[in-house]
Amino acid sequence: MTGLFIFILGLAVGSFLNVVVYRLQIKQSIIWPPSHCPKCQAHLSWYENLPLVSFVFLVGKCRHCRQKISWQYPLVELATAIIFLLLFNHFGLTTQLMVWLVLACFLIIIFVYDLRYSLILDVITVPAIIFIFLANLFLGFDWLDLTFGAIIGGGFFGLQYLVSSGRWIGDGDIRLGILMGLALGWQMTIVALFLAYIIGAAFGLILILLKKKTLASEISFGTFLTFSTVLTVIWGPQILGFYLGLF
């Protein structure tokens, strides 16, 4: 029953994260006005706001203007629920679970916003950095491990930024690298970075083969960094063990 509650909680939180992403982009308060259709501005009733259920019930269209509802909404809701459930299965009902549920929310916002708008917002990454550093200190993690992780994660992208004069990556990736380091520690940060590049290369190759991208096309790398961070906190030691076992 606890797992079901966590899943439903994830659906509800995912619905809220969709609102945050949309309103950050249009620079509107996430609290006011109440939920409304982004196309016709009609106020949405409670039964039009049920995660996943409303999308299916309304056949993916606004009840008022009949315009299509973006697939982003149900996909983010479902993804958040699955991530919440995976974290619960990994950490159990612990304080560390609470910390990672909060951090997962930050990471999902970064993922979706970077995927849609190719931008990593400081208004999200900076509070996330402060939160995870203080939370991990409270949980008793070695501050040196966290600090080295931040240096590795931030320095890795900072060096690329300096060498390329900002052509290869944006400065938002530097802050995201620091966030990864403070969340994972230095060893797992290396695993997450390695994993992000592997996934990114595979995804880029698929897009090139499908002729959706070219070798010169830019890809929002923050999406792979956030995804690899979640994968690493859950399966990092197993991934590292598998890699080392190849040699």
Q: Where are the domains of the chain?
A: 1-93, 95-247
Which pairs with CB-CB distance under 8 Å and at least 24 residues apart come from 125-128? 125/172, 125/175, 125/176, 125/179, 126/175, 128/103, 128/179
pLDDT in tens, 145-164: 999 999 999 999 999 999 98
Give the integer Cα–Cα distance in Å for 55 and 167. 40
Task: Give the tens place of pLDDT for each residue, 40-69.
Answer: 777 777 776 788 888 888 777 877 787 887
Identify which of 124, 211, 118 has the alpha carbon closest to the alpha carbon of residue 176: 124
Distances (CA, A) of 146 to 2, 64, 185, 187: 31, 50, 5, 10
167 pLDDT band (50/70/90 cuts)?
confident
